[in-house]
Chains A and B, each alone.
Chain A
């Protein structure tokens, strides 16, 4: 695969492209936060990029990353249906200021993807038309896919019934009413 898209991005944004890599046809560019939206627009509008298809936008959490680097790696994958080329661009957002520009008006498909990223990681997308939680409920506190959220911590909307709080599954030897029926004899079936 050619690295045309990476070369185009480098030519356009110069040293704002912090890092590029290419592995078996997967082209990745790490961009500075300031050109995030401009890069998405460029990939869509440039005649030789022509990335007209939004594939995915999401976030990866690296909790051990330096704070000035930013622990959240936001990535966007776009594809060109005419030129058959694909690129992934990434940028970093820090925990203290988890805000990056929204690309929801550049790629319409990014609208719900950004809402999901906000819901799960708390990354704020500036300029998003309707940045609300999409999967979890409004009452939910915290961001469940952050690595520091305890995975089993639930936040029930309604109170649990009395005495069920520490109840585990019902299939354990001392629970429930044992159902003693004689093993089925095939002769008892009439059909």
Chain B
């Protein structure tokens, strides 16, 4: 898209305008493919229901065919056995496509630190927005959706993590400390040996 010019525009002005127009159109018409595997599905249903009403964001219509959808919601734990199916569904989706990682299990495996579970769907497919929570509340999901919409509008492809920026005093330092402990204590597990 970056190199695309229309009508021989030299300044790139027209291209930028086209991209922002496309981004604007895309972010309000996300067709979702729900890949719902576990208990997070309950919160996902709540988000889709009338109280939280994901339709306000134009993202309510589920398409149970990957070829008709833009947004892949991976909701819940994905096992090693399911990973090839997930990857295949992602590959079947047409560009442009985005992936939401809903909940801790989809994002990093959660507490299923074992032989059967994929330690985060980003091991097999790229993720646009991670929504932490076990499960995340519908407010957090909508926050994640709004973040994704911002990213689509800006053409930003970097992965984003939904974070609470208003953490109480001392908590960020504590998180950093936990992070150091975790990195020290745990070596990554290779698939073979």
Known: A137-B81, A166-B188, A170-B159. A178 touches B165 (CB 8 A): yes
Min C-beta distance of B134 to chain A, whole Å = 11
Q: Mark B166-193, 1 if CB is under 8 A from A, else 0.
A: 1000001001100100110010111110
Interface members, chain B 132-188 (any A CB < 8 Å): 132, 143, 147, 156, 158-163, 165-166, 172, 175-176, 179, 182-183, 186, 188
Q: Is A96 an interface residue (CB 8 A)?
A: no
Select which of B83, B108, B116, B190 is within 8 A of A169 by beta carbon: B108
Question: Complex: how many Å from CA A149 to CA B189?
Answer: 13
Select which of B117, B147, B179, B191 is within 8 A of A160 by beta carbon: B191
Contact B165 A183 (CB under 8 A): yes
Interface members, chain A 131-175 (any B CB < 8 Å): 135-137, 144, 149-158, 160-161, 164-175
Contact B81 A176 (CB under 8 A): no
Q: Is A11 an interface residue (CB 8 A)?
A: no
Q: Which of A155, A175, A176 has the most CB of B within 10 A?
A: A176
Q: Which residues of A contact B175 (CB under 8 A)?
A: 172-173
Contact B123 A171 (CB under 8 A): no
Contact A180 B165 (CB under 8 A): yes
> Which residue of chain B lies nearest to A142 when distances are taken between CB atoms in the complex?
B115
Known: A136-B81, A144-B115, A165-B188. A173 touches B160 (CB 8 A): no
> Which residue of chain B lies nearest to A164 when distances are taken between CB atoms in the complex?
B123
Q: Is B49 an interface residue (CB 8 A)?
A: no
Interface members, chain B 96-140 (any A CB < 8 Å): 101, 104, 107-109, 113-120, 122-127, 130, 132
Question: Complex: how many Å from CA A136 to CA B191?
Answer: 15
> Which residue of chain A lies nearest to B126 when distances are taken between CB atoms in the complex?
A161
Query: 10 extra interchain contacts, Cβ-Cβ under 8 A, other than A151-B115, A154-B119, A156-B83?
Result: A136-B81, A151-B114, A154-B116, A161-B126, A164-B123, A165-B188, A168-B108, A168-B186, A169-B104, A170-B159
Interface residues of A (CB under 8 A from B): 135-137, 144, 149-158, 160-161, 164-181, 183
A-B contact pairs, 17 of them (CB 8 A): A137-B80, A154-B80, A154-B115, A154-B189, A155-B80, A156-B80, A156-B83, A157-B80, A160-B191, A164-B120, A168-B186, A169-B107, A169-B120, A170-B122, A171-B108, A173-B176, A176-B159
